[in-house]
Amino acid sequence: MNEKVIVNEELCSTSSIYQRTTAKTRSLGAAILLAAIDDYRSTDDLKHNDAKEFLYPQTLEGQDHYNWAVGLTEGLNPAWLRDALDRRKRKWDRQRAQRKALTTHERSRATLTQVERTTPCGEATR
């Protein structure tokens, strides 16, 4: 009953145990470009203008800086990126202008509703 049985089984595998994961990789260049796009779409004028200089460079120094960031993104086609940025620019500008107008309108309404002045007769007016 207590016999030892020797079993001969060969283990085989069709893939390596050291197989590389296929998780998406992130890069510094992609982070820089995404942050610049986010800043370009911002209603903050300072952020917007800095991002505009970076994403749509008008100087050789600015172009070198842009090329450096694009070079950090492995596998990104620079021509595709330039085309995509150029195609989206007008839409982003329109959306930004609408958000700025809405924010300005909301601020002016809030100011008008909060301000109450007292008249000489003691009646409050708006």
- Residue 87 in this model has a pLDDT that exceeds 80: yes
Mean pLDDT to the nearest integer, 69-78 = 92
Which of 14-23, 29-38, 61-70, 99-108 has the weakest average pLDDT?
Answer: 14-23
Domains in the chain, number: 1
Chain-centroid distance of CA 8 in Å reads 58
Whether residue 96 lies inside any domain: the answer is yes
Pick the more confident residue, 18 or 79: 79
Domain encompassing residue 55: 28-109
Whether residue 22 lies inside any domain: the answer is no
- Residue 72 in this model has a pLDDT that exceeds 70: yes
- pLDDT bin (cut points 50, 70, 90) of residue 79 is very high
Whether residue 3 lies inside any domain: the answer is no
Whole-number pLDDT of residue 21 = 45
Instruction: Render pLDDT for 7-58 as a digit per residue (tens, 0 to 9).
Output: 555 545 455 555 554 445 578 999 999 999 999 999 999 999 999 999 999 9
Whether residue 40 lies inside any domain: the answer is yes
Whether residue 53 lies inside any domain: the answer is yes
Whether residue 16 lies inside any domain: the answer is no
Whether residue 60 lies inside any domain: the answer is yes
Whether residue 17 lies inside any domain: the answer is no
Instruction: Name the pTM for this structure.
Output: 0.64
Whole-number pLDDT of residue 91 = 96
